[in-house]
């Protein structure tokens, strides 16, 4: 693990890097080509509306090495918030060096302070390396499946 990895909340001037990371992640994990303008607008939309969530970025050597997005889900069963970990990306040259672990630990610490009831994420069925990482960090696969119906383009 690199000792010089610092995690902080993303700011508006990180939006272009986060956009590039989202585009790269979609290409790598789903072979999807995303529209950069739409993604940049979406990143700005979240950064300007903290009630939707927040991004964390990990920096190493003055560069953003990775990021993730947290969005919120209210649980009436638990009378509390789940934080969804989304849009996880680590630059290839920084992988397997503890970048995601630092981001995840920062999420855990902040979540404890804010009394979050749990953390969730979804992962592509074929992404075994990511699944192993999540299990090593104490997460487990749930019995739920995710269904969706998109209504926006």
pLDDT of residue 112: 94
pTM metric for this prediction:
0.90
The whole-angstrom separation of Cα 150 and Cα 153 is 8
Distances (CA, A) of 64 to 53, 107, 116: 19, 17, 26
pLDDT of residue 127: 85
pLDDT of residue 148: 86
Q: Which residue ranges make up each domain of the chain?
A: 6-136
What is the Cβ-side half-sphere exposure of residue 137, based on CA atoms within 13 angstroms?
Answer: 21
Q: Give 57's strand partners.
A: 8, 67
Ramachandran sector of residue 68 (left: φ over 0; alpha: ψ -120 to 50; beta: rest) = beta
Mean pLDDT confidence for 140-148: 88
Mean pLDDT confidence for 50-79: 96
Distances (CA, A) of 46 to 92, 104, 139, 151: 25, 20, 26, 19
Q: Which carries the bigger pLDDT value, residue 17 or residue 132? A: 17
CATH of 6-136, one of 3.40.50.300, 3.40.140.10, 1.10.760.10, 3.40.630.30: 3.40.630.30
Note the pLDDT tens digit of each residue in 79-119: 999 999 999 999 999 999 999 999 999 999 999 999 999 99
């Amino acid at each position: 693990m690199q000792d010089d990895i610092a995690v902080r909340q993303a700011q508006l001037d990180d939006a272009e890097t986060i956009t590039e990371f989202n585009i790269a992640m979609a290409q790598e994990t789903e072979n999807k080509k995303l529209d950069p303008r739409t993604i940049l607008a979406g990143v700005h939309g979240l950064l300007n509306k903290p009630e939707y969530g927040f991004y964390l970025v990990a920096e190493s050597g003055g560069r953003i090495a990775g990021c993730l997005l947290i969005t919120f889900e209210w649980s009436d069963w638990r009378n509390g918030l789940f934080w969804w970990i989304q849009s996880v990306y680590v630059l290839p040259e920084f992988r397997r060096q503890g970048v995601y672990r630092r981001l995840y630990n920062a999420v855990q610490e902040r979540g404890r302070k804010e009394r979050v009831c749990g953390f969730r994420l979804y992962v592509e069925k074929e992404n075994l390396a990511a699944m192993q990482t999540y299990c090593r960090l104490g997460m487990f696969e749930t019995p739920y499946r995710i269904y969706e119906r998109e209504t926006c383009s």
